[in-house]
Amino acid sequence: MNIKFTGKAFLFISILCLAAASCVSLYNEAVEVDGEPAPTNFVPTATIPPPTATSQPTEVPIPDGYEEYFTQSGDTLAAIAGHFGVEIAEIESEAVLDPALLIDAGTRLLVRDVLEETTPSDILFPDAAVVFSPAVMGFDIQEFADEQDGYLSTYSELMTRGTTLASEVIRQLSLGYSINPRILLALMEMESGWVSGEPEDHDQAVYPFGHIRTDRSGIAQQTGLAIRQISKGYYGWRAGTLSELTFIDGSTLRLAPSLNAGTVAVLNFFAQIHNREEWEVLVYGEDGIFNTYTALFGDPWERGSGIDPLYPAGITQPELNLPFLPNEKWNYTCGPHTAWGWEGPPAALDFAPPLEGPSCGKSNYWTTAAAAGLVVRVGNGVVVLDLDEDGYEQTGWVLVYMHVGITDRVDLNEYLETDDIIGHPSCEGGNSSGTHVHIARKYNGEWVLADGGLPFVLSGFQAKNGEDFCEGSLEDEERVVFAFPWSNYLTDLYRPDSKPKYLYTPTPKP
pLDDT along the chain (510 residues), means of 10: 37 34 31 34 41 52 93 96 97 91 96 96 97 97 98 95 95 97 98 97 97 93 97 97 96 98 98 97 96 98 92 96 96 96 92 85 94 97 97 97 96 98 94 91 98 96 92 93 89 73 39
Following CA atoms 381, 385, 390, 395 in sequence, which dihedral angle do they give, to the nearest 10 degrees? Answer: -90
What pLDDT does residue 4 have? 35
From 489, 145, 474, 218, select the one nearest 321 (Cα to Cα).
474
Give me the pLDDT at residue 349, please: 98
* β-strands 480-482, 421-423 pairing: unpaired
pLDDT score at 330:
96
Nearest to 144 by CA among 164, 178, 171: 171
Q: Kindly report the pTM of this predicted structure.
A: 0.86
Neighbours of 449 (CB within 10 A): 25
**Is residue 430 within 8 Å of 403, Cβ to Cβ?**
yes
Strand partners, 481: 474
Which H or E run contains 66? Answer: strand 66-70
Q: How far apart are CA 446 and CA 178, in angstroms?
A: 7
Which of 102, 350, 124 has the alpha carbon at shortest distance from 258? 124
pLDDT at residue 341 in the model: 86
Answer yes or no: are the C-beta atoms of 124 and 299 closer than 8 Å.
no
Residue 41: predicted pLDDT: 34
Q: What's the full length of the chain, in residues?
A: 510
The residue among 218, 133, 228 whose CA lies nearest residue 181 is: 133
Q: Which of 114, 94, 128, 101 is nearest to 7 (CA)?
A: 114
Give which of 258, 453, 254, 427 is closest to 345, Cα–Cα.
453
Q: Which residues pair with 70 in a beta bridge?
A: 108
Range list of β-strands (E), 310-450: 328-338, 346-352, 367-368, 373-379, 382-386, 397-402, 415-416, 421-423, 437-443, 446-447
Give the span between the Cα atoms of 109 and 309, in whole angstroms. Answer: 18
Sequential DSSP letters for 113-145 = ----S-------S-GGGTBT-GGGTT--HHHHH
CB 127 within 8 A of CB 309: yes
Q: What is the pLDDT of residue 346?
A: 96
pLDDT of residue 59: 55
Q: At what angle do helices 181-192 and 166-177 cross, to 10 degrees?
A: 130
CB 253 within 8 A of CB 276: yes
* Backbone φ, ψ for residue 277 (5° rounding): -65, -45
* Whole-angstrom distance, CA of residue 279 vs CA of residue 291: 15
